[in-house]
Structure 1
Amino acid sequence: MKHLLTAIAALTFMTPAAFADGGFGSDVIFLGEVHDNPAHHARQSELVAEIKPSAVVWEMLTGVRASAITEEMLSSEKVLGPFLYWEENGWPDFAMYYPIFTASDAQHFGAALPRDEARRVMGEPVADVFGTNAELFGLDQPLSDTEQQAREALQMAAHCDALPEEMLPMMVDIQRLRDARIAAVVREALVATGGPVVVITGNGHARKDWGAPAALKMAMPEVSVYALGQGESDTSPEGTFDAVEYAPGVDREDPCATFNKGG
């Protein structure tokens, strides 16, 4: 826990009054993150404690696992992490996320996209993969040429310029599918609990211009949505947010080093 306390001390926080102007009164609050930055999770934990949401929707959890969380599990980091198959699913150190689970009495919902569904996009239209209510989240409609090209460029950059160009449309469809899944689970959580709902997810899904908030507004235009992005040092997250906060970056290996060396 020492690294979390250090991160909290180093974070540049928005003033509580500034966040309250738009955040605390919203039906749904997206709290973005860079997944391996402990300061971002410390901030999420602080805000969840202040917001006291009725539900928390997690990008990282399947619906089955989230619905099976018990009070006993929540009382132990060493029990909850393994139960959620956290490490097996490739997420960073669970110790960074655990305080978010215990920051409120919220009901937990999982919005993770199963790998087999993501693979289906290779051979099926994204709306067919999503299934019922795909049209509510815009999956039955193509993106504009401008947005499609911008999304494909981001996917290429995210994969170290190593993807075959013919794969880019599929990668964009998978991202759209993930956004729609998050939005659908938020809709479920709102109906089940009445809100407010907090969403814990990466900045890419929290962006309001084309992430899960945009998909949610298509399905529920009457719902008020607030999105907080979290950047690192002088690096801003891509996309549109209601507010962006910054924390120091973390030391990490260059994910493209292998490609740059030709390995």
Structure 2
Amino acid sequence: MASVELEASGHIAHVRLNRPSVLNAIDSDMERALAEAWTRIDDDPDIRVAVLTGAGDKAFCAGGDMSGSLAGHEGLSYGGGLTGIGGHLRRLRKPLICAVHGHVLGLGFELAMCADILLAADNTRFRLPESRAGIIDHCGVVHRAIRQLPYHIAMAMIVTSEPLDAGRALQFGLVNEIFSPSRMAETIEAWTTRLLKCSPLVSQAAKQAAIDGLETSLPEAVSRHYPLIERYRGSLDCKEAADAWRDRRDPQWSGR
């Protein structure tokens, strides 16, 4: 059984953490499988949206595998990127929707925060168990939490392992929408439909510019040149946008 399932359907790649017997805890095999999945998604021009979920009813992801199978991990998909525990920073160029449920702990919380659109079942509980468990290593998860949540809310999670339920996560802007578990597929489909109406190249270019710009001051961010924006100007989709506007019709994006 694959620890990570990847299935492409149309322009959507579905990635599922698939170790439900251990609450989808991340081990070295899953790390390598995630790295391969992100590379395949970014390299395939026909994939425009990625959707990440977790198998089973109890948890999206319970964090790092505490059995020791993460020892000596390669950092292929970690490093404050798409799981975040060491190694290099990894970003996904394509828009990523993550739909979580149940327990979302430690590395699982980091993985969820890496998404561009985060959806949460109403039974979701986000938590950083490190302080309570007496464990600390690379801290990608705390750097994301302190940036994506109000300071005191994030600090309560970081220093006391205070949980955060779905309702409060929505209140603080961490998640985009709450759904009942029976409506997960319907909720994901609604968001993927919205994304697929957009120019995939513009979505990717805008995502790159927004994230890269956060690393600088506002004056520097607005004056920088961004490679994907520059590349878009010579694309078929850029021409299609102009043609569709002229003809008063919906554009037909090719992603080229």
User: Please, what TM-score do these two structures have when normalized by structure 2?
Assistant: 0.27
- Structure having the higher strand fraction is 2
Q: Which has the higher contact order (CA 8 A, sep 6+)?
A: 1
- Structure having the higher helix fraction is 1
